Structure 1
Amino acid sequence: MKVAQVLSDLTSLRVCDQKAALDLVSARPSTTSTSAGSVEAVRQHTAALLAGTKDDNDPDLQRAKDLVELHYAVKVKHLSKGTGEVEADESLEDARHAVKVAMEEMMDV
């Protein structure tokens, strides 16, 4: 899961110019909790910070903002099954296992 998060972050930063990328990085708080409430709180906090940036007309920054919103929407969908409890769905668990196996195979080579 960490690899996917890093790739998502790199993609977000690649579509921005340097100043916009720095604004985006400084606007994303770190979180250690994976509860649905904290994910929503981080999304709202990030959206509020990004909404306050001065480069509202910067298309690269707007694309990065859209990627951040999409990232959190997908993350929340995969974490919550509608019960209020945080659980990864079966397909996500299978994907995580496949990535883990692939990473282990790469490390053995």
Structure 2
Amino acid sequence: MKVAQVLSDLTSLRDQKAALDLVSARPGTASTVTGSVEAVRQRTAALLSGTKDQNDTDLQRAKDLVELHYAVKVKHLSKGNGGVEADESLEDARHAVKVAMEEMVSE
């Protein structure tokens, strides 16, 4: 069903802006291709110059996600043997899924 919807969207595109709006992460931010390119250039220049955009929510979310990943990784490693137990339970769960899938296929 999703494939049919995507194909319908693709065939209904008549101009370049419609195509960009379909695939753009932020379709409403730039109205033209030139505007989009210029926005990317400005953003890249700002990042390379070391300036920080505190108002960028996407950047802040990415930073928060990296911090969360780091915190979880450190906590996992600091448990010592706890990490091994988690790996064993993960292997047990994988084995249970494999057995269930084999039973479904054999029926």
- TM-score w.r.t. length of structure 2: 0.36
Q: Which has the higher contact order (CA 8 A, sep 6+)?
A: 1
Structure with the higher fraction of residues in helix conformation: 2
- TM-score w.r.t. length of structure 1: 0.35
